[in-house]
Chain A
Amino acid sequence: MNRTVLATLAGIVIPSLLIVGTAPAEGARRAKGDPTSVLTRNGEVVMAARVAGEMPTDPGDGRFENANPLTVRLYPQVAAEPRAEKGVVREAAVRAIHTEAWIAFLVEWADPDRSDVKQGTTDTFADAAALQFPLKYGEAADRLPYVGMGGPERPVNIWLWRNGGGGGPASLKATGFGTLEPVAGGGAMTAGKWENGRVRVLFARSFGASSPEEVKFAPKQIGLVPVALAVWGGEKGERGGLKTLSGWRFVKFDGGKVSPAYVRSFGWNPKIRGDAKTGETLMMRHGCAGCHVYPGNPIPTKIGPGLAGIGGIHRPGYLFESLKDPSAVIVPHKNYYSLKDGQPVSIMAPFSGPERDAYHIVEFLRTLK
């Protein structure tokens, strides 16, 4: 099944639910008024507070007090090699403030062991944090990129802060694991501060981008911007893929326009209500456990991506799609796919069991967080 067919399928499934309404909608029940309220209820929205003045340059900028922090859970990256089996930073608070011209984020986490790039060393790594945005967003057709650094047709723009600097420009682009590159002529302001066992990192940029490869903000047209977070604990050797990451979250601008169809595309409205316990048993029966390692699976396999934290990192709709059409998004690792007529095809067979079982499995995967 190719991507177009799948996208169409998703388009069929969701409206049909609205008519039939067999299960309580978690993501897309069209409420009158604010279509984003369901995301807010799920704790996925960073509300950007309107402030005045110049773009902040200091993580201690008092205007962040006007913004409510969103606590974001972070999960070790276990999809691509090398895997972050443990993961240092497991939770961060994100705040956002903005004016007519710029947006700024404050990311904050507890870190008793500060780690920066020690000048002239070979074996130390810096604490670091990154915000990730889809290059395109706002319409139902702009499906969320793969949260692990985007995918071939869904580029992401990444703002990176590294304690002590280094590592090149702060604005980067990626289309999947291993593709990260600086955006030529791009830029984002970053600054970090370590105080009383907490790291506070500021990310700021004007709404307009200096490169077409960077995310733009136009809250009047699109008032909801997907954002994901990654944090590296340098003192434990985290760098590159050794990191913790969040699932997609959403920055909301007050009074901005939001396409209800776009919000619906994030949602999950299963035709059949799955059962996690049944799903766990089915993971064994359908052979999932032979290739994917996850808590409760005694097989120490690395054939496929690890599934620990997958329910926290990925949206259920993505999990369902991955099950039915593994080639729709392939984690770029040479062991995960083969080439067929020059196109990558996942080594995982599309799920061919009963439809109901797929829903049970997704329900189980959602508990892995």
Chain B
Amino acid sequence: MSKRQLAMVMDLNKCIGCQTCTVACKVQWTNRNGRDYMYWNNVETAPGKGYPKNWQESGGGWEGSVLKDGKIPSLANDYGMPVQLNYEQALFAGTDPWLKATNDPAWTPNWDEDEGAGEFPNSYHFYLPRICNHCTNPACLAACPRGAIYKREEDGIVLVDQSRCRGYRHCVVACPYKKVYFNPLFNRSEKCIFCYPRVEQGIPPACAKQCVGRIRHVGFLDDEAGPVHKIVVKWKAALTLRPDFGTEPNAYYVPPLSSPKFDAEGKPTAEPRIPVAFLEKLFGPRVGEVLGLLEAERSKKARGEESELMDLLIAYRQEEMFKIR
């Protein structure tokens, strides 16, 4: 465990799935040199198979103090080959009248975007942005026989030492979130670095800074004056993804409230559209309690009363969402 932990809170009630975070990350870090297929930050649709495909069933994580076995996703079938278009033939040589993909992808990020689940009028989905969780008990770190993965004392950021990594991919197997990626060009594993070069200069990670929906708060868990401490520790309004994997993530989520379900006559019921059981599988047993808290605070605000939690989540001023020093 590191001395301090920098963490991120993502409010799923505000995420609109615009992928600005994805693009911000990609342009900054992964649009070149064998990283083209990698999405250190991705936004997937839940329910859904996600990216890489079926990552939740890919194994890894902890069973007590023992690492669970897992699989390495394949580029073509699970991540998805980056699609190339026939620009040359269609636009310049004129040998093909149609602009189209030159490969036939079997899967890509967002392959099942917006599909969700449920039958009309009770169909539902929400967006789930995912980064490396910079876990307190990282399975990737434990799995590396070379000690190439380390967790920084000063902020808990988990990094792969590129000079030590030999591309064995035990970390890819061990990460239950499949947020470590193998770079086939350099034969090394790489992952989200929480934009540490930015963070060291007091600038938030690109995904958080560029987020147009203002869903991402960044701060130290122990900084009582910071937004993350307030939402996670003081208000206990944020939960980690798949806590049953045992890695103790440091990316937190404010779970999504949903519209009421309709009954056979088309009348709204008291039951939420997104089944609580589904959210409990994703975020653990406290989901119901947190949703109750959010509803209560939201009604307060609606009645014109004060709510610190709602003010935090509304994020009137973007700079107040980040406190990273």
Asked whether any CB of chain A lies closer than 8 Å to the CB of B177, the reply is no
Question: Given the complex, which residues of A lie within 8 Å of B73, measured CB to CB?
Answer: 122-123
Separation of A180 and B167 alpha carbons in the complex (Å): 13
Q: Which of A235-250 contact B (CB under 8 A)?
A: 239-241
Separation of A152 and B229 alpha carbons in the complex (Å): 45
- The contact of B145 among A121, A167, A178, by CB within 8 Å, is A178
- The contact of B184 among A120, A168, A178, A180, by CB within 8 Å, is A120
Q: Given A120-B184, A122-B184, A166-B187, A180–B166 Cβ distance below 8 Å? A: yes
Separation of A19 and B324 alpha carbons in the complex (Å): 74
Question: Given the complex, which residues of B lie within 8 Å of A241, measured CB to CB?
Answer: 145
- The contact of A121 among B71, B75, B146, B166, by CB within 8 Å, is B75
Q: Which of B146-182 contact A (CB under 8 A)?
A: 146-147, 166-170, 172, 181-182
Q: Are B146 and A178 in contact (CB under 8 A)?
A: yes
Q: Which residue of A lies closest to B69 (CB)?
A: A82
Q: Which of B41-76 contact A (CB under 8 A)?
A: 71-76
- The contact of B72 among A80, A122, A166, A168, by CB within 8 Å, is A122
Question: Given the complex, which residues of A lie within 8 Å of B181, measured CB to CB?
Answer: 122
Separation of A167 and B72 alpha carbons in the complex (Å): 19
B contact patch SS: loop
Asked whether any CB of chain B lies closer than 8 Å to the CB of A81, the reply is yes
- The contact of B168 among A80, A122, A239, by CB within 8 Å, is A239
Asked whether any CB of chain B lies closer than 8 Å to the CB of A4, the reply is no
Asked whether any CB of chain B lies closer than 8 Å to the CB of A177, the reply is yes
Separation of A178 and B143 alpha carbons in the complex (Å): 12
Q: Which residue of A lies closest to B187 (CB)?
A: A166
B interface residues, how many (CB within 8 angstroms): 23
- The contact of A122 among B146, B147, B182, by CB within 8 Å, is B182
Q: Given A122-B181, A122-B182, A240-B168, A180–B146 Cβ distance below 8 Å? A: yes
Separation of A178 and B187 alpha carbons in the complex (Å): 17
Separation of A240 and B187 alpha carbons in the complex (Å): 13
Q: Are B145 and A240 in contact (CB under 8 A)?
A: yes
- The contact of B166 among A117, A119, A122, A240, by CB within 8 Å, is A240
Q: How far is the CB of B259 from chain A (nearest CB, A)?
A: 39
Separation of A241 and B166 alpha carbons in the complex (Å): 12
Q: Given A82-B170, A239-B168, A240-B168, A119–B184 Cβ distance below 8 Å? A: yes
Q: Which of B253-298 contact A (CB under 8 A)?
A: none
Question: Given the complex, which residues of A lie within 8 Å of B145, measured CB to CB?
Answer: 80-82, 177-178, 240-241
Counting chain A residues whose Cβ lies within 8 A of the other chain, the interface size class is: 10 to 19
Q: How far is the CB of B31 from chain A (nearest CB, A)?
A: 16
Question: Given the complex, which residues of A lie within 8 Å of B146, measured CB to CB?
Answer: 178, 180, 240
Q: Are B167 and A121 in contact (CB under 8 A)?
A: no
Question: Given the complex, which residues of A lie within 8 Å of B252, measured CB to CB?
Answer: none
Q: Given A122-B73, A123-B75, A178-B147, A168–B187 Cβ distance below 8 Å? A: yes
Question: Given the complex, which residues of A lie within 8 Å of B72, measured CB to CB?
Answer: 122-123
Q: How far is the CB of B215 from chain A (nearest CB, A)?
A: 30
Q: Are A122 and B170 in contact (CB under 8 A)?
A: no
Separation of A177 and B145 alpha carbons in the complex (Å): 8
Separation of A120 and B74 alpha carbons in the complex (Å): 10
Q: Are A121 and B170 in contact (CB under 8 A)?
A: no
Q: Are A167 and B167 in contact (CB under 8 A)?
A: yes
Query: Which of A119, A168, A177: most chain B CB closer than 10 A?
Result: A168
- The contact of B74 among A122, A178, A180, A239, by CB within 8 Å, is A122
Separation of A177 and B167 alpha carbons in the complex (Å): 16
Separation of A240 and B170 alpha carbons in the complex (Å): 10
Question: Given the complex, which residues of B lie within 8 Å of A82, measured CB to CB?
Answer: 143, 145, 170
Apart from A122-B79, A123-B72, list 18 A-B contacts with CB within 8 A. Answer: A80-B145, A117-B187, A120-B185, A121-B75, A121-B76, A122-B73, A122-B172, A122-B181, A122-B184, A123-B71, A167-B166, A167-B167, A178-B145, A180-B166, A239-B168, A239-B169, A240-B145, A240-B168
The chain B residues found within 8 Å of chain A, CB to CB, are 37, 71-76, 79, 143, 145-147, 166-170, 172, 181-182, 184-185, 187
The chain A residues found within 8 Å of chain B, CB to CB, are 80-82, 117, 119-123, 166-168, 177-178, 180, 239-241
15 A–B contacts from the bound complex (CB under 8 Å): A119-B184, A120-B184, A121-B74, A122-B72, A122-B182, A122-B184, A123-B72, A123-B75, A177-B145, A178-B145, A178-B146, A178-B147, A180-B146, A239-B169, A240-B166
> 5 smallest A-B Cβ distances: which pairs?
A240-B168, A123-B72, A122-B75, A123-B74, A122-B182
